[in-house]
Structure 1
Amino acid sequence: MDGHALTRASTIGPLVDVIDRDGGSVARVFRAADLPVRLVERPEMLVPLAFQTRLVVAAAREIGDDLLPVRLSAAAGTAGLGAYAGHVLGAPTLGAAIAIGNALVHRILQSATVTRLERRGATVRWLYRVDAALDAGRAENELLAVGYILAMLRRFAGSGWTPIRVELPGPPPPARAAIEQGFAAPLAEGPDAAVVFPADLLDVAGPGPATDPDAAALPAPHDLPSRVRAMVDLAMLDGAPRRERVAAWLGLSTRTMQRRLADDGLAFAALLAAVRADRAADLLGRGATVADVAFDLGYSDPAHFARAFRAWTGRPPSSFRAGRRPRRPAGP
């Protein structure tokens, strides 16, 4: 079992809008989940799944809405799945789409996750399971996932389509009737979160056209340096990254993280510098000011950032920025 699974920030859907609309405090919710508010600006960013579920739980508690995961997936639709949905929806048939989705889910959308199609006579079950430790929020995560499965199925079958049933593990939840209304589907107990529907739907043509959207692969479970880099990138949304926070996001103690990095001949400080250098080059290349880049990377003073950037690249950031600007065509 992968104790520190990662997922895409896009899967939280329009969380901030819902909290604002219902009179809650966005800052308090993100603080309770120990995640940067600014991650909503970077939907492709990787987030620790356990902390994403904490975020949804904290938001539901903040606004007093146990059906929040159902509402989020319905509001986001397939757009909440980013490039993953592009691959799935471009398939020629629903059966082909599910096969693509099952192969890609743990590669580009969410690690430590299994989706599988099971056929039982004239019906099929498209199930979802997370093979990772979730201290809290597993039920909320399953509701969110089922909502996204329904959104994808309805892109093929039509917005008014109703499955045979939705299955959730464990006894029926107290809000069963409300969940059924939100999903527009009957609810039953099952071994996994799943949507059950007629097998002949697998031959339905896709909404098309076929696409091949870019999607960076998730770091492999054993690739700690890449996982640390991803979490450093996330932490920079809140300023200067702290190694204790990065380690906690990965389900590790600070000492264990540093020891395992040392086993690979690496150090946290070197990975932090590499992420900052890449981020700085990207922002400067897109025309950001030196002061804005310094703030974005967690430096309190542009001069400190300028010295660090020169150490990384051998050039001052001002000249790097000028060198990346598109040249004006020669005039008469």
Structure 2
Amino acid sequence: MQQTGYTRASTLGPIAEVVTAAGGSIERVFRRADLPLALLDSPDTLLPLRDHFRLLMVTSRELHDEVFAARLGRQTSMAGLGVFGRWVAQAPTLLEAIQRAGTSLPHMLQNATQLVVRRHGDEIHWSYEVYDPARDGRLQNEMLAIWYMIAVVRHFAGARWRPDRIILSGLPSRLRCPTSALMGTDTAIGNAASAIVFDRRLLTSVNPDLGQGDGLAASELGRIFDLPDPEDLPGRLSVLIELELLDRRPTLARIGARSGLARRTLQRRLSAAGLSYGDLLRNALQRRAVRLLCQTDRSIGDIAAMLGYDDPSHFSRAFERWSGVAPTRWRRLLEPRARPETSSF
């Protein structure tokens, strides 16, 4: 199976707004990147990092803008990173925030990457280092990541703060000036990791919102370890299945193609783990069904269609086999006072 990291859809930032404002078609961008448009409404969904790279590359080509991600990054914020952003933004000092970001990034938001702090005299070099082998769209991804790192520092140093300089690995010399203009500071071309550079005295900056946060709930902390391990084949396949479920009922052939495994190889390796493709699909359908029942007011019929069931009654029977109760009753038991009695379909 192709080795790759994973990232949450939230790391794409306000991509739809930026593409539309520039006169592009977000529908065409997602179609060409072979990704479901529903990712825009599913910020916690995981997708392979190589697909994230490819989407940024396709968008850059759609807009004929080689520094698109630097433009997109100007509109990003810590709030857009969900639980990860909240966890980092609640740190008492910038130093603690940077440590939290580095420690939790590969578990909460994006793996196959790391954030590393190095001191060079009175300067801090905070770098973003990527271990995924995918190359297409990599520079766009690093431009976007740099902006999120800037957003972390700005939370402590103020909204007008800018790094002393930015280092982007592999940046073509022709893009240095337009990138510097968008980043608002000098951009250097580096051979090592991309980084932001700032005065080390900033590390002691105190959180201006200290004491205002309530911390993270146990359910949110539970998400820290839901990115799949590189050796966890069922976990990695489950990510692909859940991604496909945003758009269609995924087939074994489709998941095999996306994973880089031949159909028989995939089946054999799952069998060695005591599983089948049907097991993974059923588990993914259960998780998505529960999320849709909990987080939306969609009818049972709509949810059934979104999960690929031709008949809502087929979904209801399947859900009752999984949970022991029909989906309408399950929803009422979940929120007995919040939802009025309504028809199922």
For normalisation by structure 2, the TM-score amounts to 0.87
Q: 2:312 aligns with which of 296, 302, 318?
A: 302
Q: Deviations over 1:107-140 (max 9, x none)?
A: 1110111110001111110001111121411111
Q: Is structure 2 residue 205 aligned with structure 1 residue 204?
A: yes
| Distance verdict in 2 for CA 1:98–1:284, change over 3 Å | closer
Separation in structure 2 between the aligned mates of residue 192 and residue 319 of structure 1, nearest angstrom:
53
| Amino acid aligned to 1:305 | F
Separation in structure 2 between the aligned mates of residue 134 and residue 256 of structure 1, nearest angstrom:
23
Separation in structure 2 between the aligned mates of residue 154 and residue 253 of structure 1, nearest angstrom:
47
Aligned to 1:51: 51
RMSD: 2.2
Separation in structure 1 between the aligned mates of residue 257 and residue 78 of structure 2, nearest angstrom:
30
Q: How many pairs align?
A: 327
Separation in structure 1 between the aligned mates of residue 294 and residue 197 of structure 2, nearest angstrom:
49
What's the offset of the Cα at 1:154? 1.7
- 8 Å Cα contact 1:4-1:251 kept in structure 2: no
Aligned to 1:179: 179
Separation in structure 1 between the aligned mates of residue 252 and residue 89 of structure 2, nearest angstrom:
39
| Distance verdict in 2 for CA 1:170–1:327, change over 3 Å | closer
Q: Is structure 2 residue 156 aligned with structure 1 residue 147?
A: no
Separation in structure 2 between the aligned mates of residue 81 and residue 307 of structure 1, nearest angstrom:
37
| Secondary structure of residue in 1 paired with 2:76 | helix
| Distance verdict in 2 for CA 1:79–1:173, change over 3 Å | farther
- 8 Å Cα contact 1:164-1:185 kept in structure 2: yes
- 8 Å Cα contact 1:92-1:205 kept in structure 2: yes
| Distance verdict in 2 for CA 1:178–1:130, change over 3 Å | same
Separation in structure 2 between the aligned mates of residue 250 and residue 74 of structure 1, nearest angstrom:
33
The equivalences for 1:79-158 within 5 A come to: 79-158=79-158
Separation in structure 2 between the aligned mates of residue 316 and residue 152 of structure 1, nearest angstrom:
45
Separation in structure 2 between the aligned mates of residue 110 and residue 154 of structure 1, nearest angstrom:
21
| Secondary structure of residue in 2 paired with 1:18 | helix
The equivalences for 1:277-288 within 5 A come to: 277-284=286-293, 288=298
The equivalences for 1:1-332 within 5 A come to: 3-170=3-170, 172-190=172-190, 191-209=192-210, 211=213, 212-213=215-216, 214-215=220-221, 216=223, 217=225, 218-284=227-293, 288-324=298-334, 326=336
Separation in structure 1 between the aligned mates of residue 145 and residue 185 of structure 2, nearest angstrom:
15
| Amino acid aligned to 1:56 | L
Separation in structure 2 between the aligned mates of residue 243 and residue 139 of structure 1, nearest angstrom:
33
Aligned to 2:343: none
Of 273-282 and 62-71, deviating more is 273-282
- 8 Å Cα contact 1:90-1:207 kept in structure 2: no
Identical pairs, percent: 38
Of 27-36 and 277-286, deviating more is 277-286
Separation in structure 1 between the aligned mates of residue 322 and residue 171 of structure 2, nearest angstrom:
56
| Distance verdict in 2 for CA 1:319–1:149, change over 3 Å | closer
Separation in structure 2 between the aligned mates of residue 277 and residue 304 of structure 1, nearest angstrom:
14
What's the offset of the Cα at 1:316? 4.0
What's the offset of the Cα at 1:102? 0.8
Separation in structure 2 between the aligned mates of residue 326 and residue 104 of structure 1, nearest angstrom:
36
Separation in structure 1 between the aligned mates of residue 96 and residue 324 of structure 2, nearest angstrom:
50
For normalisation by structure 1, the TM-score amounts to 0.90
5+ long unaligned stretches in structure 2: 339-345
- 8 Å Cα contact 2:139-2:171 kept in structure 1: no
5+ long unaligned stretches in structure 1: none
| Amino acid aligned to 1:203 | T
